[in-house]
Amino acid sequence: MRPGYYWKEALAGMRRAKLMSLLSVSTISAALFLLGAFLLVTINFRSAVSSFKDKFEIQAFLAETCDQHQALVAGSYIREIPGVADAVYISKEEALRRFRAELADKADLLQALETNPLPRSYRVILTPDQRDPEAMARIAEKVQRIPGIEDTEYGRDWLGRFYRLGRLLVMLDVALLLVVSLASVIVIFNTIQLTLYARRQAIEIMRLVGATDGFIRRPFLLEGMLHGLAGTLAGTAVLYLFYRLLSANFGQVTFFTAREFAVLLGFGVWLGLAGSWIAVRRFLRRLPGGG
């Protein structure tokens, strides 16, 4: 209807309650800084884990006693297991070569060996949907039961730990999201309520001269949304400084993508809207004739 009017009123509201607005904006920025920091940890953690994805494979060691034919049959059995993408045969020589490559600087240690102690094995590659600890354990057990397979190995310990940590992080994020939302909504609610009280005479007059509730509400909702926006911008700005410091020292840390940043901003604005919405609704209901 008259956007100019809404902006004028919203900004006037913030000027009128400077201290309270500042408090509200800084609370939101602190809250969103905290939330943003945890989200960044989660994002970075997940990208690290997904870079391990190609390590989601099982080593199936062949028994010394089984002959070449048995070994081939074992390989075809492995490939038939659901969830297995491929099984790559690793000969004793190949195994030794790889081992040497990994321990390049200690190669002389191996020179001492007269015979090759490393067993033949299959590198079992899982389909992408099976790359989690539970699926690995299940498949490894099936592989283990195939004749000629002596032992299987996969990173059960560290992978499991990573997964638990990942899940814990997500739970923390959710908990933090709730706390941050609640705190932000409460502080915006309080601020907007103060503005409403300061403007109660104007609101009363607006009603008398036939302003709709929507018209009365809009400047206050805008004010709340501006608090949310300003708070989120300030919070993420500080977070970005921290990120620059960290990435300068540790490298390989990612910040929010433009899209993630937009979502975070939208969330901050939405918190502002929610807090002011509740305040205005409650205020208008309590006025005489508020229904």
Residue 281 binds other proteins (CB under 8 A): no
Q: Which is nearer to other proteins, 9 or 57 (CB)?
A: 9
| Shortest distance (Å) from residue 200 CB to other proteins | 11
Tokens of 2: 């008259």
Tokens of 177: 């999201």
- 234, 23 in Cβ contact below 8 A? no
Considering only residues 170 to 209 of the shown chain, the ones binding other proteins according to CB under 8 A are: 201-202, 204-209
Tokens of 266: 């939208």
Q: Which is nearer to other proteins, 99 or 215 (CB)?
A: 215
Coil, strand or helix: which one is 40?
Answer: helix
Q: Number of residues in contact with other proteins, rule: CB under 8 A?
A: 20
Alpha carbon 3 to chain centroid distance? 37
Beta-bridged to residue 153, according to DSSP, are 59
Rounded CA Rg of the chain: 31
Give the closest residue to 171 by CA, choosing from 34, 42, 28.
Answer: 42
Q: Which is nearer to other proteins, 215 or 240 (CB)?
A: 215
Residue 112 binds other proteins (CB under 8 A): no
Residue 2 binds other proteins (CB under 8 A): yes
Instruction: Work out which of 177, 211, 233, 246 binds other proteins, going by CB under 8 A.
Output: 211
Q: Which is nearer to other proteins, 206 or 265 (CB)?
A: 206
Beta-bridged to residue 59, according to DSSP, are 123, 153
Q: Which is nearer to other proteins, 215 or 261 (CB)?
A: 215
Q: Which residues bind other proteins (CB under 8 A)?
A: 1-2, 5, 201-202, 204-213, 215-216, 288-289, 291
